[in-house]
Chain A
Amino acid sequence: QVQLVQSGAEVKKPGASVKVSCKTSGYTFTGYYMHWVRQAPGQGLEWMGWINPNSGGTNYAQKFQGGVTMTRDTSISTAYMELSRLRSDDTAVYYCARDQGSGYYYYWGQGTLVTVSS
């Protein structure tokens, strides 16, 4: 069965960076794009971008360009999302979500809470 298992909660200071992992199993990792979506406390869903695990190519939302880096390690079927220069409004649950092939998501990670606080 398809599984996306994310790394644990993080607490960071403003200006720091955070790297969240998304370890996959149950399918061919390089066959499906991986997206990242975040959700601030009590707020809606916000798309951050995707990575093509096969080529490593990426597409970031303009809001996050220059601050986010999505990478992957095909040897361990894991995707990563690194967010730099953290601010308090980056406090959110970050989800990885596997693209079904068109841009919507059946499989999601369990979410990783990133708290940015001084």
Chain B
Amino acid sequence: DIQMTQSPSSLSASVGDRVTITCRASQGISNSLAWYQQKPGKAPKLLLSAASTLESGVPSRFSGSGSGTDYTLTISTLQPEDFATFYCQQYYSTPYTFGQGTKLEIK
């Protein structure tokens, strides 16, 4: 199974900050990586697929990059509605696996 390691597990930041979350796969996943945002009591929301493709309706302040085993999600200018938990997911091979999550909190 491919292990996905996210860092940090939690992060405190202020509105207007730029934040970066990292996801490392235990083997190469050829950009088969998605990022999700989840708010309490809600289903995850897809932000990006193929490591860097922004989904329809997702603000352009979200961006993704990376290759091979290392990927990042960047939020360029934090907005109040961005505070949530973020997950990466590899869909290169089954069993599909998720990172453990990064909880983004207001400083």
Contact = CB atoms under 8 A, between A and B. Distances in A.
A95 B89 contact: no
Interface of A: 35, 44-47, 49-50, 59, 61-63, 95, 97, 100, 102-106, 108-111
Given A106-B46, A108-B44, A61 B94 contact: yes
A45 B87 contact: yes
Contacts of B59: none
A47 B4 CA distance: 13
Contacts of A46: 98
Contacts, number: 53
Contacts of B49: 100, 102, 104
Given A102-B49, A106-B55, A45 B89 contact: yes
Given A44-B98, A47-B98, A102 B44 contact: no
Interface of B: 32, 34, 36, 43-44, 46, 49-50, 55, 87, 89, 91-92, 94-101
Tell me the dominant secondary structure on chain B's binding face: loop
Given A44-B100, A108-B43, A62 B87 contact: no
Nearest to B41: A111
A100 B91 CA distance: 11
Contacts of B97: 47
Contacts of B32: 102-103
Contact of B91 (A61, A103, A109, A110): A103
B55 to A, nearest CB: 7
Contacts of A104: 34, 46, 49, 89, 91
B43 A47 contact: no
Nearest to B100: A44
Nearest to A96: B43
Interface pairs A-B: 4 shortest CB-CB: A103-B91, A108-B43, A104-B34, A61-B95
Q: Which of B32, B43, B55, B97 has the most chain A CB within a 10 Å cutoff?
A: B43
A61 B1 CA distance: 10
